[in-house]
Amino acid sequence: MPRETPTDAPPSPPRVRSGPLASLRDSRAFRALWISNVFFFGGAWTQTMVLGWIVFDTTGSEFLLAVFTSARLAPMLLGPFAGVLSDRHDRVRLLSIACGWALTAAVAVSALESATDAPYWVLVLAGLATGLAQSPSQPARSSLVLELVGRRNLSNANALNAMAMNMTQVVGPALGGAMISAFGSSVALWISTGWFALSLVALWPLRHADTAGASRRAAPEPVAALLVGGIRTILRNRLAAGVLGVTLAANILLWPVYQAFMPVFAKESLGLDADGLGRLLTCSGVGGLTGSLVIAALGDFRFKGALFVYGTAAWGALWALFALSHQVAVSFALMAFIGLLSASFGVLQTTLLLMTTEPSVQGRALGVQELAIGVMPLSSLCLGFSAQHVGVATTTLLSSLLLVAFLAVLALRLPGLPRYRGV
């Protein structure tokens, strides 16, 4: 039987090396994906921050800000169907379509804001359009990483992806806030347009990288059968179900606070302007970047489950302290540590989900994860209603304590999750 030529054979996963940048150094394909992610998330962070500031600045309503955030995050509810697409179609092509849509939406809202002060409903539609570009592409974006780098490099690669997100979380809000103060919101929105364009260009070298795409398309099953069968397989796995449970709880109780109410904390609790809000979010981004670098440097470490569960609990406790703070310096420091510990949740939820599920359902597992994240629109409305009546600080404090209590119960009822080593 003749040997396969290098052009016919799928690329072998790169060997495992030490160091925080190992996957970037060893895999040219992952390097291209990572660069594309940097620009894509940069555009998303900049645009979301600027649009959120415009909404609260023009309406002065926490509830209307929560409605905007709900529209921005609503496409996450398409997660299971996006997971089916990821398991059935070429993932690089899906990412290219998402980047093209993001670029189109960004051009439209930037042009409208430049021409006139966009009304509230236009800002809500702009948030929805951005969400339609970002959220449905996440299963393809995350499952492609495992295909490019292999299982033993997965923690490192996911940490580097989280680092890309946190790097842009540092640059995007800071740049957006500074641009709003200096030149106005329309300039800041045009910046996000440029980020999306560069993300699309960076994907070009990956156009043949999805080596398993042909086999997924060879014998496609009906969408309904793929969806139902995949969800059944995932939920029968106690470890995977536990990871998804933590994702669900965090996105009900705390992530909506970060996504929706940081302008309220900045203005009402700390007396900050748009530039100050950008610097506050930058502290979180610097902390998240540091945490991602630490996890990347650990490589294929053995205490993945423990860091996921206990690190997320500590993250919740820090949010409780942030809710009680009215000192600018203390709040900035707390936000940096919140960002640091958010890496234990953000990086490892995807890593553990991929490690505990079968390759044939990994796209759908990530789609279910996206659905768990997608509860944020509803929870944002509920938390916004609570914040309107009892205040953002009280709402955040109660949510933080509930998350810590949930994780304590989970550690007792499912001890295999904090003990999971994934090696």
Instruction: State yes or no: pLDDT of 375 exceeds 70.
Output: yes
pLDDT digits (tens, 9 = 90+) for 264-289: 888 888 888 777 887 888 888 788 87
| Average per-residue pLDDT for the chain | 80
d(CA 305, CA 275): 38
When pLDDT is averaged across residues 188-214 and rounded to a whole number, the result is: 77
Helix axes 120-134, 91-115, angle to 10 degrees: 160
pLDDT for residue 398: 94
Residue 67 DSSP one-character state: H
CA pair distance 147, 53, nearest whole angstrom? 38
Structure confidence at residue 170 (pLDDT): 64
The single-letter code of the amino acid at 205 is P
Whether the CB-CB separation of 77 and 374 falls below 8 Å is answered with yes
Q: Return the higher-pLDDT residue of 171 and 402.
A: 402
CB atoms under 10 Å from CB of 302, counted, come to 11
- Alpha-carbon distance of 261 to 242, in angstroms, equals 28
pLDDT for position 218: 45
Among 159, 178, 118, 96, smallest CA distance to 304 is for 159
Q: What is the CA radius of gyration of the chain?
A: 21
Average pLDDT of the segment spanning 109-132: 82
Q: How many residues does the chain have?
A: 423
Dist CA 378 CA 357 (whole Å): 28
**What would the two tokens of residue 53 be?**
């500031």
309 pLDDT band, cuts 50/70/90, is very high
pLDDT of residue 316: 94
| Stretch among 214-218, 294-298, 310-314, 377-381 having the lowest mean pLDDT | 214-218
Predicted confidence band of residue 226 (pLDDT cuts 50, 70, 90): low
CA atoms of 69 and 303, how far apart (whole Å)? 35
